[in-house]
Amino acid sequence: MRRIIAGLRPLWGLLLVVGLAVVVGDLAGLLTVPDSIWWVPSVIGAVGLSAVGLVTAPRAKPHDLQLMSCPVRGEWTSVNTPGQRLPSHGTRALGQWCAVDVLRPSTDATPPLVRWGLRGSAPTDYESFGEPIHAMATGTVVRCRSGAGDHRARNTWPTRLMMLTVEAVLRSLFGPSALLGNHIIVDHGDGTVAAYAHLRRGSATVEVGDRIRVGEVLGRIGNSGSSSEPHLHVQLMDSSRLRVAAGMKLAWHDVILTGELDARLAEAVSEPEKSAIKDMPPMGEVFTTPWMGESPS
């Protein structure tokens, strides 16, 4: 039932927009609403039903922790990570229950997380931009999108507010592709499917139908879709259909935690919650991957 409700996500979004538009239009005197005691509870019911539909998400069947290779090489840090809590992104929708966001550790030249101003920083100002993305496991490419542009960072207060409100609503209405931006989905053939999101425009090195090996380069990190700054968003699911996919527990077997905190994220760091996956890097901690090659020998 959860998958059926989640699969109707576009309907719930449209119903919510229409319901809110009717309420706002009536209050502003822009609409002539029938003088009936039924319209108020009807609109409220429609808005409530759509809200429930939008937050309903599937749950995967009981499964073991899936150990895979880290999709980046060298020194990195993570935010919105299952090493901090589950669900890592605050939602189970679109298979994001155990999703991970990774980015290069900050330097003195890295733009601040958020600042005053009207124009966000250029994606090329970030160390993560253009870094290669490696396959976590062997599989077959079932979806590949690489034509969306790389927008500027949402690292000013006005652009961040716009991203979290108007932009978030619009991208949700346009569907998963608008949220993920350029992305690649790989079916591993064992009931697990990986999604790699926010790729750089035109950077995909694979096509639908390609058989890939663990460690193979799939593309490069960009800033497409719903992304505040260049980073890789990766998640493991039980289906390639994002609207009905349930997130699965993921851990990387080839990372080493350094115990160091990224200076730019240090103020946001807290103790991992009980739901956290202990084998995954927690919020803000720098980790390394000793395997530096593009593919295993």
The pLDDT tens digits of the residues spanning 62-89 come to 999 999 999 999 999 999 999 999 999 9
* Backbone φ/ψ region at 94: left (φ over 0), alpha (ψ -120 to 50), beta: left
Q: Which of 120-124, 149-153, 176-180, 199-203 has the lowest mean pLDDT?
A: 176-180
Mean pLDDT of 203-230: 97
Compute how many other C-beta atoms are within 10 angstroms of the C-beta atom of residue 18: 14
Q: What percent of the chain has pLDDT over 70?
A: 78
Distances (CA, A) of 35 to 16, 17, 23, 40, 82: 22, 22, 14, 10, 51
Mean pLDDT of 8-17: 63
- Cα dihedral 291, 219, 149, 244 in deg (nearest 10): -90
Instruction: Say which residue, 6 or 107, is predicted with more confidence.
Output: 107
pLDDT band at 60 (very low <50, low <70, confident <90, very high): confident
Instruction: Say which residue, 47 or 282, is predicted with more confidence.
Output: 282
Q: Which of 31-40, 107-116, 155-164, 206-215 has the lowest mean pLDDT?
A: 31-40
End-to-end CA distance of the chain, in Å?
Answer: 45
Q: Which residue type occupies 222?
A: G
C-alpha 94/C-alpha 240 separation (Å) is: 10
pLDDT band at 157 (very low <50, low <70, confident <90, very high): very high
C-alpha 38/C-alpha 25 separation (Å) is: 17
Residue 290, pLDDT score: 78
Residue 55, pLDDT score: 59
| pLDDT over 80 (residue 34) | no
Residue 16, pLDDT score: 66
Tell me the average pLDDT of the chain: 87
| pLDDT over 90 (residue 169) | no
The number of residues in the chain equals 297
Residue 7, pLDDT score: 58
| pLDDT over 60 (residue 177) | yes
